[in-house]
Amino acid sequence: MSGLSLHRKIEENTGLLIFGILFVSAIGGLVQLLPVLNQESLAIATENTRLYSAVELTGRDIYIREGCHVCHTQQVRPLVAELERYGPYSRADEFVYDRPFLWGSKRTGPDLHRIGGKFSDDWHRIHLINPRAVIPNSIMPAYPWLDSTPASATGNITAKLRTLVLLGHPYTEQDMANAESDLAGLTEMQALIAYLQMLGLGYSEEVMQ
């Protein structure tokens, strides 16, 4: 049977065509995804892995809601210029509790994976209320509403922690019991800054050497 007559069978049978497309398109995904999804080293927490506190997790969800990842990456590449500009390159074990991942695809603004501790909380607050107050040429949007919205308005934090426990994040009953009171009195601005200030800080220098 020649190739063309084999193909005639496929192109004259709707079911065969559907099956053929599904089978042929699935191969690449199976070969690439299955080994990676089963690779334990990508999912094991190390001393580089930080479990987000209730406040930091809330800040992270605000970061997602406002689309910060649209213009800021969180993925320092192992290149001389990037090590110098941002700090140690990003490792897989730092992202074990990142759901979703926030590596981004575009650097309209700088990478933020090592931003923690580089600026003061006050600087971040002024910058987020009006970026041009501290960086004259900045094209970043302003986020004034974060300063007047309570962090608890971001969503039910206890329910979030419970969902993450289902997914294997090691929050304790204590963490969940305290979550709401941890957020009490904080604004969304404070939660977001708490998140920004912990980015990259979990990274232990010894592991690098």
Partner 1 sequence: MNQSNKTYHDKIVIRLIQFSILWAIAAMLTGVYLSAELVWPTLDFGQFWLSFGRLRPLHTNGIIFGFGVSALMATAFYSVQRTSHTPLFLPGLAWFCCYAWQLLVLTGGLSLLAGFNTAKEYAELEWPFDIAITVIWVCFAIVFFGTVANRKIKPIYISNWFYGALIIVIAMLHIVNNLAIPVSLGKSYSLYAGAKDAMVQWWYGHNAVGFLLTGGFLGMLYYFLPKHAERPIWSYRLSIVAFWAFVYSYIWAGPHHLHYSSIPEWVQSLGMVMSVILLAPSWATMVNGIMTVSTAWEKLRKDPALKFIVLSLAFYGLATFEGPMMSLRSVNVVSHFTDWTIGHVHSGALGWNAMITYGTFYFMVPRLAGRELYSSQLAHLHFWLALAGTMLYIMAMWAAGVSQGLLWLSVDQIGELSFSFKEVMASMAPYYLLRLVAGVIFLFGTVLMAYNLFMTLKGQLPVRVTAPPVNPAFAVAS
Q: Is the Cβ of residue 13 or residue 172 nearer to partner 1 in the bound state?
A: 13
Distance CA 49, CA 203 (A): 8
- Binders of partner 1 among residues 107 to 126 (CB under 8 A) are 107-110
Q: Please report, as residue ranges, which positions from 132 to 171 form the binding site for partner 1 (by CB under 8 A).
A: 132, 135, 137-145, 155-156, 159-160, 163-164, 166-167
In the complex with partner 1, which residue's Cβ is closer, 26 or 201?
Answer: 26
**Residue 207 binds to partner 1 (criterion: CB under 8 A):** no
Rule CB under 8 A: choose which of 1, 2, 5, 81 binds partner 1: 81
User: Which positions from 172 to 191 touch partner 1 by CB under 8 A, shown as an x/- string?
Assistant: --------------------
Amino acid at position 87, single letter: G
Q: Is residue 70 involved in binding partner 1 (CB under 8 A)?
A: yes
Return d(Cα 42, Cα 49) in angstroms, integer.
11
Alpha carbon dihedral 159, 165, 166, 168, in 10-degree steps, equals: 150
- CA-to-CA separations, 82 to 4, 87, 112, 138, 157, in angstroms, rounded: 53, 7, 12, 21, 35
Tell me, residue by residue from 34 to 53, as one string, x for binding to partner 1 by CB under 8 A and - for no binding. -xxx-x--xx----------
Evaluate the CA torsion angle 111, 115, 119, 124 in order and state its sign.
Answer: positive
Q: How many residues does the chain have?
A: 209
